[in-house]
Chain A
Amino acid sequence: MTTLSAYISLDTTSRSIGADEVAALLQASAVQHGTSVSLTRTGTRGLFWLEPMIEFDTDAGRVAFGPLDPGDVRAVSTVISPKGELNTEHPAYLGLLDEVPEFAGQLRHTYSRVGVTDPLSLAQYRAHHGYEGLQRALSMNSDDIVEEIANSGLRGRGGAAFPTGIKMRTVAAQNDTQKYIVCNADEGDSGTFADRIIMEGDPFLLIEGMTIAGVACGATQGYIYVRSEYPQAITLLNKALATAYEHQLLGENVMASGKQFDLEVRKAAGAYICGEETSLLESLEGKRGLVRFKPPLPAIEGLFGKPTLINNVVSLVSMPEIVRLGADSYHALGVERSRGTLTVQLAGNVKKGGLFEVPFGTALRDVIEQFGGGTLTGRPVKAVQIGGPLGAFVPPAHFDMPLDYEAFAARGAMIGHGGMVVFDDTADMGEMARFSMEFCAIESCGKCTPCRIGAVRGTEVIDKIRRGEEVDAHRILLRDLCNTMVDGSLCALGGMAPFPVLSVMDHFEEEL
């Protein structure tokens, strides 16, 4: 009896549309056919319009079937022919996964293992270059590691896109016996799921990245602050952590180097503001997530008053490859001051939603049209909100922009985490502007007045405009209020919530 090796994603989104049911049906049909299937649950390839999908090993590579309706027993059972072979005549047969255009058109650099390996298998992680980055880091001195990261051009995936190497250098330079590495995994922006996909699909990569950061900065304790909305990511991370401890990849003597690094997962509690770095630190200290004044910077006085490197998931998971292959390997990708790759997340009203890793410099239009394939409803695209709920609504007239932090900033937009939410022409942009203010009012930490009160007033003024009350005067007032929030707020929540509102006023004036 032949054994077929099959792979099905266990990522939250794949499961949310029936991956578990398809896995069960596949096993049941294998029994019927007298074949045996060795099934590995992997992370996702990010091609969600093809999920639930099954991949099989063949001599030529992995071939795939998808999407498979979990309610259609026959569709799943006929993937394997009565002879126990793969049924290449099946309507959902996709051929070699590497040749699916939207996959072939990417450059999987940081996300190369996601969807390929069993996320909890340390052996598979190592077989695909896992822990080679840390091994090299342990043979280097700390300044050289920091220089590699700085020279790679890696920038943070928050709104500010701050150079990661500079932060690291500051923390490394502090002369303190206790320092911390904190991973900001409170990815609360709508339309972003890159962090979740990597935490569920390649958790050892985050552990390795944070350990490298710890070695570079001289920090012995790390915390991963993960959203409570991501229960599966928390479970998988905790399992991977336990395995890493068992194999002395964490603890008192990391890889027999004599260096210590401990790591703990902390569950957040549903406050969007805790994605802001200083609020996150307050929350980790067990307090309300109120924004801190800066300075002092967290790199100098961070968690529990100690020097703290706080980075997003994508920054930290980029480090192992940068150290393993050298800064040039990352810097060679991208354009201008935007180096390396961006994991674009296409979502909302889009035909082919998913995660696509591409070099910076790729045209926005290519992303939306070639990868996304237009709207799900088939209607014209009206706007794309980029960079989360605080990102501008970009109209199709601006789709010629390259994915480049500065090119976006020049048009009043931001890339942020790379999340893109597509809207078709039925979207009510006035309502979207109102929602931005309403969201800010719900999520404001309340510490500064422009954000706390401005967001409430902003919602009211938009309501008045939409009711037709003194429209011209209220438009002037709204713009003024937006400027006050932008200039006067302590952090990016109040400081950026007006951006979507202003973009609606600028590009969709008749709707507000």
Chain B
Amino acid sequence: MTPEQIKQRTAIIVESMQFLPGGLLPILHRLQDQLGYVPEESVPVVAKALNLSRAEVHGVISFYHHFRRTPPGRRTLFVCRSEACQSVGGRALEQHAKERLGIDWHETTTDGSVTLEPIYCLGNCACAPAVMLDEQVVGRVTSGRLDALIDDLSATD
């Protein structure tokens, strides 16, 4: 998408939501849901419509772990880092995910297929360790099951 197209898409979203009380988060969510991330080109459009400075909008985007400023891979793998997952081998699973994908947190594989993100609690604590692939939560994940999950991704890509 060209910067001009991003601005147009942003303007359409903002127009429908700018009078929502406290609407900045819902606007950023819709941008990310539709574009996969919150592009830099969207910031001035959002700021102008909500009568905020660009710095304020930037401050909000960067404060929240959920919002990303660069496009993600085709799928995002979230690995839970919380205590319940740690109690049943979560740390080893984190390490395995990084090695298997050959990337660190917040990075995307070179073929653009998977982005790896840490997450703090999916509420799946009774069947830990847990990961989430886009919006699909998977419980009781062993390194073998994680490999199978990643293999499936490559097969369906």
Enumerate chain A interface residues (CB-CB to B < 8 A): 12-13, 15-17, 48, 51, 187-193, 195-196, 227-232, 266-272, 283-289, 303-304, 345-350, 353-355, 376, 385, 389, 419, 421-424, 427, 432, 435, 439, 442-443, 445
Contact status B22-A228, CB under 8 Å: no
- A272-B120, A287-B24, A289-B64 given. 19 additional CB < 8 A pairs? A13-B124, A16-B130, A17-B140, A191-B125, A192-B123, A193-B123, A229-B120, A232-B135, A266-B22, A267-B25, A269-B25, A269-B64, A269-B65, A271-B65, A288-B59, A385-B83, A424-B87, A432-B86, A435-B86
Closest beta carbon of chain A to B141's beta carbon, Å: 9
Enumerate chain B interface residues (CB-CB to A < 8 A): 21-26, 28-29, 50, 59-60, 63-67, 82-88, 119-128, 130, 132, 135, 137-140
- Which A-chain residue is minimally distant from B135 (CB atoms)? A231
List A contacts of B130 (CB < 8 A).
Answer: 16
List A contacts of B123 (CB < 8 A).
Answer: 12-13, 187, 192-193, 195-196, 227, 229-230
- Which B-chain residue is minimally distant from A376 (CB atoms)? B88
List A contacts of B21 (CB < 8 A).
Answer: 285, 304
Closest beta carbon of chain B to A67's beta carbon, Å: 11
Contact status A15-B28, CB under 8 Å: no
Within 8 Å by CB of B128, from A267, A271, A348, lies A348
Within 8 Å by CB of A12, from B50, B60, B137, lies B137
Given A269-B66, A286-B22, A347-B84, answer yes or no on A16-B137 (Cβ-Cβ < 8 Å).
Answer: yes
Contact status B126-A284, CB under 8 Å: no
Contact status B87-A439, CB under 8 Å: no
- Which B-chain residue is minimally distant from A393 (CB atoms)? B83
Contact status B125-A192, CB under 8 Å: yes
Contact status A289-B139, CB under 8 Å: no
Some 19 contacts from A to B, beta carbons below 8 A apart, are A16-B137, A190-B84, A192-B125, A193-B124, A193-B125, A229-B120, A269-B29, A270-B65, A270-B120, A271-B63, A271-B64, A271-B66, A285-B21, A289-B63, A376-B88, A385-B83, A389-B83, A421-B87, A432-B83
- Which B-chain residue is minimally distant from A304 (CB atoms)? B21
List B contacts of A187 (CB < 8 A).
Answer: 123
List B contacts of A354 (CB < 8 A).
Answer: 126
Closest beta carbon of chain A to B145's beta carbon, Å: 11
Within 8 Å by CB of B125, from A232, A271, A283, A419, lies A419
List A contacts of B121 (CB < 8 A).
Answer: 188-190, 192, 229
CB-based closest 9 A-B pairs: A353-B126, A286-B24, A190-B82, A347-B125, A16-B139, A269-B64, A270-B66, A348-B87, A270-B65
Given A12-B137, A192-B123, answer yes or no on A348-B25 (Cβ-Cβ < 8 Å).
Answer: no
Contact status A435-B125, CB under 8 Å: no
Q: Which of A17, A272, A353, A376 has the most chain B CB atoms inside 10 A of its CB?
A: A17
List A contacts of B23 (CB < 8 A).
Answer: 286
- Which A-chain residue is minimally distant from B91 (CB atoms)? A431
A422 to B88 Cα, complex, angstroms:
9
Contact status B83-A421, CB under 8 Å: yes
A283 to B22 Cα, complex, angstroms:
8
Contact status A443-B120, CB under 8 Å: yes
List B contacts of A266 (CB < 8 A).
Answer: 22, 25-26
Closest beta carbon of chain B to A184's beta carbon, Å: 15
Contact status B83-A348, CB under 8 Å: yes
A52 to B53 Cα, complex, angstroms:
51
Closest beta carbon of chain A to B9's beta carbon, Å: 20
Given A191-B84, A231-B135, A286-B25, answer yes or no on A13-B127 (Cβ-Cβ < 8 Å).
Answer: yes
List B contacts of A443 (CB < 8 A).
Answer: 120
A439 to B130 Cα, complex, angstroms:
18
Q: Which of B60, B84, B125, B137 has the most chain A CB atoms inside 10 A of its CB?
A: B84
Closest beta carbon of chain A to B147's beta carbon, Å: 16
List A contacts of B22 (CB < 8 A).
Answer: 266, 284-286, 303-304
Closest beta carbon of chain A to B148's beta carbon, Å: 11
Q: Which of B28, B60, B63, B125 has the most chain A CB atoms inside 10 A of its CB?
A: B125
List A contacts of B24 (CB < 8 A).
Answer: 286-287
